[in-house]
A and B are shown apart, each in its own frame.
Chain A
Amino acid sequence: MLFTIYILILLLLATIVVIELFKEMEWKKQIAYVMILIPFVLRILQIK
């Protein structure tokens, strides 16, 4: 159960990061968003 909640939190955060990525006007900040996104995606897919 705890693990499912953990994955749901990660999914929520990853979605927010992607939305903010598309709202962001500066490409340098967009790179920062993607750097945050990568570990979230690898964790959701349980690769790392």
Chain B
Amino acid sequence: MKKNYLTAIIILLIAVILMVTASVDFLNKRRMNKLYPSEGLTKIGKLSNYLPGLEGTNSDSDVYFYDSGNPGSTILLLGGTHPNEPSGYISAVVLIENIKVLQGRIIILPQACKSGFTCTDPMEALPADFILKTRSGNRTFSFGSRVFNPLDQWPDPEVYTHFPSGQKLSGFETRNLNRSYPGKVDGTLSERVGYAIMKLIRNEKVDIAFDLHEAAPEIPIIKAIIVHEKAKELGAMAVLNLEFEDLKYALEISPKNFRGLSHREWGDYTDVLPFLMETSNPIQGRFRGRTNSNLIVYGEDDNYRKALELGKLRIEYDPKGEPLAVRVGRHLEGFNAIISACNEFNPDKQFKYEGIPSYSEICNKSFINILH
């Protein structure tokens, strides 16, 4: 055998070993995290129940139903619309594992963009997951990409044209669930998921819907509640009540000309009152330093802190960091405040529940006594 053939075979074998090792990691990322629903769970459905075309795809998300059996409001809560914004996902998991519904019912999609949980954004050195200390020990949760996995939806067009408005955005946004509403029954995967969620809202006669997000510290809409104009009174009341608890939220009205977003299209195309909440997440920041799972969980970043100390930071940033527990606490406290406002505005159609830890409980005890 020629010498160069022998070296080629040896190098190929080493490459195969590396490929298999990497493949195990990549394939493990497709396994969904095991959740432990509270006793109040009525049933677990699938998104494909609302659009059969999603069956067998990597985006047929689980839908958790908690029905008290007593007439009242129907609530929808979406976590994981953007799988790189973990406070939304973990807030949904906290609800799934703790909530007891007393009146009305709640429907929870913890991983609205399931496909996005199977990869991370390229060129960002992002971790694949993060670990939280819970009652049962250390639990691993997936950290994903802002958009659908390109293995599930490809190729991206040069320019994404939103259906039906015709609004033009960067081609990358074609895989963004929160630019895909109201969706299309025979569209791309993201449009089909958007369509299925709209159909869920209509079929289940959802009254109030939440979409939980995070944003980089330098984005102006962090620590905000974004509402459709038909829900602005409720939003204002919730924000005022949160002020009494020393929690500041900006109230933003959904822009009418920015199409494809949940707070705009859910409100325009259905009877639901939509709310989108944002928290500040340093791992999404462009100025961030070391990027690892600690940054997700503790939210402490040396670059932002140093810039703050030097007086060069023009944004709001807590030098103690933005821990995941605080971000989840803010989402859940916002959820509580909006539900209370809705109950007050509409006493004939209430949603009552218990078992959800308060903001201070989550901040003090983290997730140890809260998650299974």
A: residues with CB less than 8 A from B are 2-3, 6, 18, 21-25, 27, 30-31, 34, 37-38, 41-42, 45-48
Say yes or no: B18 contacts A24, CB within 8 Å. Answer: no
Closest 4 CB pairs of A and B: A34-B15, A27-B7, A47-B23, A22-B8
Q: Can you show 25 pairs from A to B with CB atoms below 8 A apart?
A: A2-B155, A3-B154, A6-B154, A18-B12, A21-B8, A23-B4, A27-B4, A27-B7, A30-B4, A30-B8, A34-B12, A34-B14, A38-B15, A38-B19, A38-B22, A41-B19, A42-B19, A42-B22, A47-B23, A47-B26, A48-B22, A48-B23, A48-B26, A48-B119, A48-B151
CA distance A38 to B20 in the complex (A): 10
On chain A, the residues within 8 Å of B5 by CB distance are 22
Give the residue among A2, A45, A48 with the most B Cβ atoms within 10 A: A48
Contacts beyond the supplied A21-B8, A22-B4, A25-B4: 17 A-B pairs with Cβ under 8 Å: A2-B155, A3-B154, A6-B155, A22-B8, A23-B4, A24-B8, A27-B4, A37-B15, A38-B15, A38-B19, A42-B23, A47-B23, A47-B26, A48-B23, A48-B26, A48-B119, A48-B151
In the complex, whether B123 has a CB less than 8 A from a CB of chain A is: no
Q: Is there contact, CB below 8 Å, between B23 and A21?
A: no
A21 touches B12 (CB 8 A): yes
Are A46 and B23 in contact, with the CB atoms below 8 A? no
A30 to B18 alpha-carbon distance, docked (Å): 16
Residues of chain B within 8 A of A41, CB atoms compared = 19
Q: Which residues of B contact A18 (CB under 8 A)?
A: 12
| Complex Cα–Cα for A6 and B5 (A) | 30
Give the shortest distance, in Å, between A40 (CB) and chain B (any CB).
11
Main secondary structure of the interface of B (DSSP, over half): helix
Indicate if the CB atoms of A46 and B151 lie closer than 8 Å.
yes
Interface size class of B (residues with CB under 8 A): 10 to 19
What is the minimal beta-carbon distance from B83 to any residue of chain A, in angstroms? 17
Expressed in whole angstroms, the Cα–Cα distance for A18 and B19 within the complex equals: 15
Q: Give every chain B residue within 8 A of A45 (Cβ-Cβ).
A: 23
Cα A16 to Cα B218 in complex, Å, equals 47
Report B-chain residues with C-beta under 8 Å of the C-beta of A23. Answer: 4
Taking CB atoms and an 8 Å cut-off, the chain B residues in 1-55 that contact chain A are 4-5, 7-8, 11-12, 14-15, 18-19, 22-23, 26-27
Residues of A with C-beta under 8 A to B154: 3, 6
In whole angstroms, how far apart are the Cα atoms of A22 and B23 in the complex? 25
Residue of A nearest to B119 (CB): A48
Q: Contact check: which of A22, A38, A47, A48 meets B18 at CB < 8 Å?
A: A38
Q: How far apart are the CA atoms of A41 and B22 in the complex, in Å?
A: 12
Across the interface, name the chain B residue whose C-beta is closest to A37.
Answer: B15
Give the residue name and chain of the B residue nearest to A45 (CB).
B23
Q: Which residues of the partner chain A approach B7 to less than 8 Å between Cβ atoms?
A: 27, 30
A46 to B153, CA, bound (A): 12
In the complex, what's the smallest C-beta–C-beta distance from B324 to chain A, in angstroms? 27
A24 is contacted by which of B4, B23, B26 (Cβ under 8 Å)? B4
Min Cβ gap A47→B in Å is 5
Give A34 Cβ to nearest chain B Cβ, in Å: 4
Name the one of B11, B22, B23 contacting A30, with C-beta atoms under 8 angstroms: B11
- A16 → chain B closest CB, angstroms: 14
Rounded to whole Å, the gap between the CB of A46 and the closest CB of chain B is 6
Bound-state CA distance A46–B152 (Å) is: 10
- Give bound CA distance, A19 to B11, whole Å: 14
| A7 to B228 Cα, complex, angstroms | 44
Give Cα A37–Cα B151 distance, bound, in whole angstroms.
Answer: 18
CB distance from B336 to the nearest CB of A (A): 41
The answer for the CA separation of A34 and B26 in the assembled complex, in Å, is 19
CB distance from A4 to the nearest CB of B (A): 12
Measured in the bound complex, the distance between the Cα atoms of B15 and A48 in whole Å is 16
Docked Cα-Cα span, A12 to B23, in Å, equals: 22
